[in-house]
Amino acid sequence: MSGCSVDFPIYDITSIDSVRVALCGGGGAVKSGVPNAVEVYDTRGKGLVLAYRYDCERAAPTCIAAHPGEPILAVGVDHNLLILEIEKKQKLNKQVPTLKKVLQREVVKVTDKAEIVKCVTFCCFGEKLVTVGEDNGITIWEYPSMVRRWRITQHLSEVTQVTAHTMGEPEIVTSTRGSECFVWDVETGMQKAQLKFSGTVPNAKYRYRNIRYGCTGETFYSVIVPIAWSNKTSMSHLVKYDTATTPWSIIREFTIKGEPLSELAVSSNETFIATSSSNGHVYILDAHSLGLRRRVFEAHGLFVTGLCFTSSHTDDQFKLLSVSADRECKVHNPHLADPVRFLKAALLLLLFIGALYFLFKFLSSSDLLPHIDDFDADPIAEDHHTHSHHNEL
Q: What is the pTM of this model?
A: 0.84
- Rounded to the nearest integer, the mean pLDDT of the chain is 88
Mean pLDDT, range 274-299, rounded to an integer: 95
Report pLDDT for 90: 67
Domain ranges of the chain: 2-337, 345-392
Q: With 50 as the cut, is the pLDDT of residue 375 above it?
A: no
Predicted confidence (pLDDT) per residue in 303-361, tens digit: 999 999 996 655 567 899 999 999 999 999 988 765 555 556 567 777 878 777 777 77
Query: What is 2-337's CATH topology?
Result: Methylamine Dehydrogenase; Chain H (2.130.10)
Mean pLDDT across 187-200: 93
Q: Do 50 and 38 touch, CB atoms closer than 8 A?
A: no
Check residue 389 and give its pLDDT.
Answer: 46
Q: Please report, in angstroms and rounded to a whole number, the separation of the first and last CA atoms in the chain.
A: 87
pLDDT tens for each residue of 149-171: 999 998 989 999 999 999 999 99
Per-residue pLDDT reduced to its tens digit, 41-84:
999 877 899 999 999 988 999 999 999 999 999 999 999 999 99
pLDDT, residue 114, reads 60
Question: Which range among 2-6, 128-132, 252-256 shows the weakest confidence by mean pLDDT?
Answer: 2-6
In 3D, which of 48, 34, 75 has the Cα closest to residue 321?
Answer: 48
pLDDT at 391: 47
Give tens-digit pLDDT for 7-44: 999 999 999 998 999 999 999 987 788 999 999 999 98
- pLDDT value at residue 390: 47
Q: Parallel, antiparallel, or unpaired for β 36-42 and 249-257?
A: unpaired
